[in-house]
Structure 1
Amino acid sequence: MATDQGSTTRHDPLDPAMMIAEARRAFFTVFGFLCVVWALQLVNWLDDTRLAIDYGIRSHDLDYLPNVLSAPFLHVNWQHLEGNSGPLFIFGFLAAYRGVKKFLGLTLLVALTSGAAVWLFERGTVVTVGASGVIYGYFGYVVLRGLFDRNLIDSLIGVVMGASFAYILTTAVPGTPGVSWLGHLGGLLGGLAGAWIFRDRGARRTAAGSSPAPGSAIGRVPGSGAGSVGGAVPPSPRAALLKELDDLGL
Structure 2
Amino acid sequence: MKTSSPSTLITKLESRFVLIALFVGSMWAVFFLSVALPFLRLNEHGVVPRSLGGLQGILFAPWLHASVGHIAANTGGLIVLGWLCMWPHIAGFWRATIGAMLGAGLCAWLFGAPDSVHIGASGLVFGYAGYLVARGYYTRNLMSILVALVVVSSYGLSLLFGVLPIYPDVSWQSHLGGVLGGVLAARAGAGAPSRVRVR
For 2:122 and 2:90, how far apart are their aligned partners in 1? 20
For 2:75 and 2:49, how far apart are their aligned partners in 1? 25
User: Highest Rg: 1 or 2?
Assistant: 1
Describe the shift of the 1:199–1:16 C-alpha distance in structure 2 as closer, same or farther (beyond 3 A). Answer: farther
1:176 aligned to 2:167? yes
Q: Note the C-alpha offset of 1:66.
A: 2.2
1:139: which partner in 2? 129
Q: Equivalent residue of 2:70, what SS?
A: helix
- 1:1-250 equivalence runs, <5 A: 12=2, 15=4, 17=6, 18=8, 20-48=10-38, 50-53=41-44, 55-169=45-159, 170-199=161-190
- What is the CA RMSD across the aligned residues, in angstroms? 2.3
For 2:92 and 2:147, how far apart are their aligned partners in 1? 18
1:171 partner letter: G
Identity %: 31
TM-score, length-scaled by structure 1: 0.71
For 1:200 and 1:35, how far apart are their aligned partners in 2? 32
Q: Note the C-alpha offset of 1:96.
A: 1.3
**CA shift digits 1:142-198 (9 cap, x unpaired):** 112123222101211110221121111211113432310000000011111111111
For 1:38 and 1:194, how far apart are their aligned partners in 2? 26
Describe the shift of the 1:158–1:28 C-alpha distance in structure 2 as closer, same or farther (beyond 3 A). Answer: same
Q: Note the C-alpha offset of 1:16.
A: 5.5
In structure 2, stretches of 5+ residues that fail to align are none
User: Which structure's residues are more often helix, by fraction?
Assistant: 2
For 2:72 and 2:191, how far apart are their aligned partners in 1? 33
For 2:190 and 2:93, how far apart are their aligned partners in 1? 12
Q: Note the C-alpha offset of 1:19.
A: 5.2
Moved over 4 A (4+): 16-20
Describe the shift of the 1:57–1:47 C-alpha distance in structure 2 as closer, same or farther (beyond 3 A). Answer: same
In structure 1, stretches of 5+ residues that fail to align are 1-10, 209-250
**CA shift digits 1:26-58 (9 cap, x unpaired):** 2221111011000000111112271111x1111
TM-score, length-scaled by structure 2: 0.87
**CA shift digits 1:109-162 (9 cap, x unpaired):** 210110000011111221110000010000011112123222101211110221
For 2:4 and 2:152, how far apart are their aligned partners in 1? 27
Describe the shift of the 1:144–1:16 C-alpha distance in structure 2 as closer, same or farther (beyond 3 A). Answer: farther
